C-alpha cells in the first residue's frame, strides 16, 4: 500500500476547520455559478488555456473529482456510508469527460455535491480525523491517508481549479472577485 504524504507526522485540521472549508467551498461555488450564468455558451466552452482548456471542462473536472472522493469516503468511513446512495450517478469516471455540458444541468449537481460534502464533514467525529483511511485509485493502487488530509485535499483541489477558472474569466474580461475566504468564514 502506498502512502500519499506522511501519515501522522504533521498537524491535522479539526473537523470544525474542515466544516468551515466545506461551507466556504459551497458559498464560493454558488457565487461562481452566478458569474457563469451570465456567460454565453461560447464563452463557457471557448478554448482558453489551463489544464482542461475551458471553463466548462474545468468545472466538470472539479465536480467529477468531488464525486469520486465522496464515493471513496462513503465506502471507506462507516460514519458516512449512508450518504453514498445520495451521490449523483456518473456513467464513467473520466476526468476529461464533460457529463454536464450545460449550466442548467451542472449547477443542480454542483449544489447537491456541495451539500453532501458539508453533511459528510459534519457526520465524521473529530476523533476520527486522525484515523488512516484506505482507498483505491483508478490505477488500481491502494493508498492510505488520514481522513482530515483527504478532506483538505478535496477542498484544496476545488480552490486550485477555481483559480484556473478565475484566470479564464480574466481572459474573457469578466470581473470575478468571488473567492475571498476571509469574507465567508
CA 89 to each of CA 68, 71, 85, 113: distance values in angstroms, whole numbers, following the listed order: 11, 11, 9, 11
pLDDT at 24: 94
pLDDT at 2: 55
Q: Taking the domains of the chain in order of start, what are their residue ranges?
A: 2-183
* pLDDT tier at 6, thresholds 50, 70, 90: low
Query: 46-93 pLDDT, tens per residue?
Result: 999 888 999 999 999 999 999 999 999 999 999 999 999 999 998 767
pLDDT of 1 above 90:
no
2-183 sits in which CATH class? Answer: mainly alpha
pLDDT at 32: 96
The burial class, CB within 10 Å (0-12 / 13-18 / 19+), for 100 is buried
Query: 138-164 pLDDT, tens per residue?
Result: 889 999 999 999 999 999 999 999 999
pLDDT of 42 above 70:
yes
Q: What pTM, to 2 d.p., does this model score?
A: 0.90
Higher pLDDT, 140 or 4: 140
Residue 50 burial (CB count, 10 A): 18
Higher pLDDT, 93 or 166: 166
CA 81 to each of CA 134, 145, 155: distance values in angstroms, whole numbers, following the listed order: 14, 18, 20
pLDDT at 184: 61
Query: 113-133 pLDDT, tens per residue?
Result: 999 999 999 999 988 888 888
Amino acid at each position: 500500500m502506498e502512502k500519499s504524504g506522511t501519515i501522522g507526522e504533521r498537524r491535522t485540521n479539526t473537523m470544525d476547520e474542515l466544516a468551515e472549508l466545506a461551507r466556504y467551498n459551497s458559498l464560493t461555488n454558488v457565487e461562481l455559478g452566478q458569474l457563469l450564468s451570465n456567460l454565453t455558451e461560447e464563452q463557457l466552452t471557448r478554448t482558453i488555456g489551463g489544464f482542461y482548456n475551458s471553463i466548462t471542462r474545468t468545472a466538470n473536472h472539479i465536480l467529477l473529482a468531488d464525486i469520486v472522493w465522496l464515493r471513496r469516503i462513503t465506502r471507506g468511513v462507516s460514519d458516512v456510508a449512508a450518504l453514498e446512495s445520495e451521490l449523483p450517478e456518473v456513467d464513467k469516471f473520466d476526468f476529461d469527460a464533460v457529463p454536464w455540458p450545460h449550466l442548467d444541468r451542472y449547477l443542480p449537481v454542483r449544489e447537491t455535491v456541495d451539500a453532501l460534502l458539508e453533511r459528510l464533514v459534519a457526520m465524521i467525529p473529530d476523533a476520527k480525523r486522525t484515523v488512516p483511511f484506505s482507498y483505491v485509485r483508478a490505477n488500481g493502487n491502494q493508498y492510505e491517508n488520514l481522513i482530515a488530509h483527504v478532506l483538505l485535499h478535496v477542498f484544496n483541489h476545488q480552490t486550485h481549479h477555481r483559480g484556473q477558472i478565475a484566470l479564464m474569466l480574466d481572459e474573457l474580461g469578466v470581473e470575478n472577485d468571488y473567492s475571498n475566504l476571509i469574507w465567508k468564514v
